[in-house]
Structure 1
Amino acid sequence: MELDPLLLSRIQFAFVVSFHALFPVFTIGLAAYIATLEGLLYRTDNPVYARLSRFWTRVFAVVFGMGVVSGIVMAFQFGSNWSEFSYRSANFLGPVLSYEVVTAFFLEATFLGVLLFGRDKVPRGVHLFAACMVALGTFISSFWILSANSWMQTPAGVEMRDGLLYVTSWTEAIFNASLWPRFFHMALASFLTAGFVVAGVSAWYLLRRRAPEMNRKALGMTVALLAVIAPAQLVVGDWHGLNTFENQPAKVAAMEGAWETKNGAPLLLFAIPDAAGETNHLEVGIPNLASLILTHELDGEVRGLKEWAPADRPPVGIVFWSFRVMVAIGVLMIVVAITGLIQRLRGRLFDSPRLLRVFTWMIPLPFAAVLAGWFVTDIGRQPYLIYGVLRTADGVTPSLTGGMALFSLVGFIAVYAVIFTAGLYYLLRLIQAGPESLEDTPDAADGRPKRPFSAVDTRLDEHAAPEGARG
């Protein structure tokens, strides 16, 4: 069997990007949470905030390191597997990706050192400033990365000359048509991811009667945040969808499983798309709802995939189902967040073992939603690398063989397996130790005696369990 270098390169890049995307989406939201804790500590002088901040900063450092390693390796593929794409798009993507390193990565890396090691060595205001700069750096980084990816979705400000793309307007290219909906959609996804991780871990500690005061405070804060951000994501997601409907209608047709152009198109809740037969099987839908959502009219027109040649259509099945996975998880997050807030206002959040368990079960779901969203975005862009400008098949390295692509794919899987295993192992060690293990470590807020982290006793703390939280 002959190995297809294009297919293997696509699988490799999808694997590496999917793996890498898990880390930034978590660290962006977590950095903002740490900055919030540092601000509360500066204002209230409450040592609980200091211990929470120190604990989550350690988690942030581990995940940040995993993201850096996976991100650096990921960039090698532009030259090894996608040299034609790199060559043709270098006039725009080269500077933009460089801006991300210069303006964001250096900022994060510099102030992360102050945040990690400077608590007792710099004034508290400087330490708070460092936390804010780390959080700002993560947002600047996401801006440049999303600008580059959004330009690939909705290219602007460039022209093709002799097979190369030349920038005619940096403003139009950077601030392309899909940048802001995608930036805010990803920002809220980052807050949701970090928020559900913090809430889930805090709930897990409460179920095990560990440091109830500290973890009640952490859970209460994040539940209030999630109850606002989860519904807001629905609004921003609608904005993003309308933008995609305007600029990438073929992608929306795949998302909706729409083959025929219709007025009053139904919203399909379930279907089995059949690309070969250009139809769906076992459709279950709500009449007119897709038209209402996309055009804000019950009889609005939604274009079907048959308006494009088969070679110009994205893969329907994976786009269709990835979109539904993302939306289903989003709806579940809204339900859980609002339920948590209601129980918090009623004073029952910390006394509900079932709800606490639900929060612990929610930990992996935001990551799954992010991956599903990326699948919709980038698989839905196919068969183009740069939408409407450069086909994926034209961007692969001409001299790349199937054997070479397979060798590098296996190598990436092996390296990333080591990175993920080692990082996950250390993260689990940190979480098992918990923030209460830092009660005897250095802290400018209380100045008490210390013991080294290596000597942390991971036994359950002796605090009394919250009433009703047994079992």
Structure 2
Amino acid sequence: MLSDVEALLLARIQFGFTVAFHIIFPAFSIGLASYLAVLEGLWLATKRAVFFDLFKYWVKIFAVAFAMGVVSGLVMSYQFGTNWSVFSDKAGPVVGPLMAYEVLSAFFLEAGFLGVMLFGMNKVGPRLHFLATLAVAAGTFFSAFWILSVNSWMQTPQGHVTNAAGQFVPQDWWAIIFNPSFPFRLVHMVLAAYLTTALVVGAVGAWHLLRDSRAAVSGPNEGARTMFSMAMWMAALVAPIQIAAGDAHGLNTLEHQPAKVMAMEGHFESHPAGAPLILFGLPDQEAGRVRYALEIPKLSSLILKHDPNAPLKGLDTVPRENWPPVPVVFWSFRVMVGLGFLILFLGLLSLWARLRGRLYDWVALHRFALVMGPAGFVAVVAGWITTEVGRQPFTVYGLLRTAESASPLSAPAVAGSLIAFVLIYFAVFSMGVIYILRLMSKPPHYGEPGVEPGKPIRTAGITPAPSVHPDRALWPAE
């Protein structure tokens, strides 16, 4: 007979599984919506057909990814009422309104203008269509804003009081929304979304450059060169900013959630005269030490305190019942950081290739970019694992334990729903991913009939019908 402890573990696995699936699609759609806005803005400014062709190419992919993100998000939210009803009851007065704000201010904005962006090309003028694209991009950002505000409050709760029923009741909404970890986590996540999208765009561009050697220097596929160049600029410029943002986020976490940082660093023991940076090793939570550790002396103190001799506390100062699962946090953090530095290396390599005039014909760079295509998704999932598992054993850090947040369900019931989720998710979302990959495998069409590469679209000789808005004179025919 499965125990209540196993029911809790299964509920955590189920929520972790659905969150990991869900976060992939918002991470992509947030960055892709902004990329679409940039492409359409460049087309309006330059009238170069390549930008509009890339917009049409990526907007189809965005529509599928957005739909999959919505579906996976709706399914995930139901678990608050099924598997985590005690958490919903106690934290609902704070979490519920914030989630409602996300729907009212973000999802309605996205959904309201998404139809115009997808189907309004021949219905409205280019400026109004660009406004719709900007609205969708803004909606994805506001969605990230509210969701991260909710999650950040669970990490660093403030601005509330506890009533007689044990519920967290809002007292200062400003303090709740802009809690101590929220600004750092918002910047870190949005930059991660932009880098994730850039890596996918760069991988698709590299794929088509490798398939069609003519596209490297000239020929019909200027779209591949353009998307690859834009993606490499993003990697080169944003990756260093992301590393700096991650460092600031880490310092904030050290201040407010020290046990999480101790687990990330593998510091079971306190170091009164400078802590080493443990590069690799095998954390043994039972024994309270990292076996076979490969260390750099005092580097952890230098990074976290900017002083190599600064003391750092270890998990030996934290009650064992409040330790997070150290091996999971330790390794997920290293996956995230390792991929971050690989992204930085790709960006720097692309700058070197650009300076040498080899950006479009250096096969090794294209292969590296192609391999790095999924790296952003892996880094995002690893980062969320670090954040969420590192918060354990609490759902609301320091105030509400995970074991006290679950619904009184039997383990077989949770196991049955978990199996159903796994089967359905892999069946449905694998088909969606396959369809997206098929769309990406097709090269972006460059130029409308009668338009010479690099020429403004207005030279295509497209004459609008008398009943069409005058701005349609600039709008390429489908």
Question: Residue by residue, what CA displacement relative to the aligned partner does 1:325-354 show, whole Å, maximum 9, x if unpaired?
Answer: 111000010001111122112210111111
Choose the corresponding residue for 2:412, options 403, 406, 411: 403
Of 58, 61, 64, the match for 2:63: 61
Please, what is the CA RMSD of the aligned residues?
1.8
The answer as to whether partners of 1:440 and 1:448 remain within 8 angstroms in 2 is: no
Deviation at 1:279, TM superposition (A): 1.0
What residue number does 1:469 align with? none
1:8-64 residue CA offsets vs partner (Å, 9 max, x unmatched): 000000000000000000111111111000000001111111110011111000000
User: In structure 1, which of residues 224, 229, 235 is the aligned counterpart of residue 244 of structure 2?
Assistant: 235
Q: Once the two structures are superposed, what CA deviation does each residue of 1:403-447 show, in whole Å capped at 9, x if it has no partner?
A: 110111011112211221220121122112232288569998657
Q: Does structure 1 residue 253 correspond to structure 2 residue 271? A: no
2:379 matches 1:369: yes
Equivalent in the alignment of 2:476: none
What is the Cα deviation at residue 306 of structure 1? 1.0
Query: Are the equivalent residues in 2 in contact too, given 1:242–1:294 (CA < 8 A)?
Result: yes
Quote the offset at 1:116 in angstroms.
0.9
Task: Give the SS at the match of 1:41.
Answer: helix
Alignment of 1:423-434 (within 5 A): 423-434=432-443
Q: For the Cα contact (< 8 Å) 2:40–2:130, is it kept in 1?
A: yes
Letter in 1 for 2:14: Q
Tell me the amino acid that sits aligned with residue 238 of structure 1: D
Is 1:296–2:299 an aligned residue pair? no
Structure 2 vs 1, CA of residues 385 and 364 (structure 1 numbering), >3 Å: closer, same or farther? same
Alpha-carbon displacement from aligned partner over 1:134-180 (angstroms, at most 9, x marks no partner):
11100000000000000000000011122111111000001000000
What is residue 459 of structure 1 aligned with on the other side? none
The alignment partner of 1:282 has SS state of strand
TM-aligned CA distance change 1:272 to 1:447, over 3 Å: farther
Q: Which residue number in structure 2 is paired with residue 181 of structure 1?
A: 184
Q: Does 1:283 align with 2:283?
A: no
Q: Is 1:87–1:164's contact at 8 Å kept on the other side of the alignment?
A: yes
Amino acid at match of 1:174: I
Deviations 1:250-281 (A, max 9, x none): 00000000011113100010111111111111
Displacement over 2 Å in runs of 4+:
437-449
Distance 1:351 1:316, change over 3 A: same
Aligned to 2:330: 320
For residue 159 of structure 1, give the secondary structure of its aligned residue in structure 2: strand
Q: Secondary structure at the match of 2:406?
A: coil
Matched letter for residue 314 of structure 1: P
Do structure 1's residue 306 and structure 2's residue 308 form an aligned pair? no
SS in structure 1 of the partner of residue 59 of structure 2: helix
1:266 matches 2:269: no
User: In the alignment, residue 244 of structure 2 is paired with which amino acid?
Assistant: V
Residues 25-424 of structure 1: pairs in structure 2 closer than 5 A: 25-162=27-164, 163-209=166-212, 211-262=220-271, 263-398=273-408, 400-424=409-433
How far apart, CA to CA, are the structure 1 residues paired with 2:20 and 2:462?
43
Q: Partner amino acid for 2:380?
A: V
**Identical-residue share of aligned pairs (%):** 47
Partner of 1:452: none
2-side partners of 1:23 and 1:55: how far apart?
18
- Structure 1: how far apart are the matches of 2:308 and 2:433? 48
CA distance in 2, matches of 1:215, 1:419: 30
Contact 1:384/1:392 (8 A) holds in 2: yes
Q: Deviations over 1:58-85 (max 9, x none)?
A: 1000000000000001011000000000
CA shift in 2, pair 1:274/1:205, >3 Å: same
Amino acid at match of 1:261: S
Q: Name the CA distance, whole Å, in 2 between partners of 1:182 and 1:62.
A: 27
**Match of 2:168, SS?**
strand
Measured at CA, do residues 448 and 202 of structure 1 come closer, stay the same or move farther in structure 2, by a change above 3 Å? farther
Inter-partner Cα distance in structure 2 for 1:364 and 1:118: 31
How many residues matched? 448
Structure 1, unaligned runs of 5 or more? 450-471
| Deviating more after overlay: 210-219 vs 328-337 | 210-219
Whole-Å Cα distance in 2 between the matches of residues 146 and 203 of structure 1? 33
**What amino acid is aligned across from residue 2 of structure 2 in structure 1?**
E
Normalising to structure 1: TM-score of the pair? 0.92
- State whether residues 275 and 300 of structure 2, in contact with CA within 8 Å, keep that contact through their aligned partners in structure 1: yes
- Give the Cα–Cα distance (whole angstroms) in 1 for the partners of residues 263 and 447 of structure 2: 50
Name structure 2 gaps, 5 residues minimum: 464-478
Q: What is residue 6 of structure 1 aligned with on the other side?
A: 8
CA contact (8 A) 1:441 1:448 kept: no
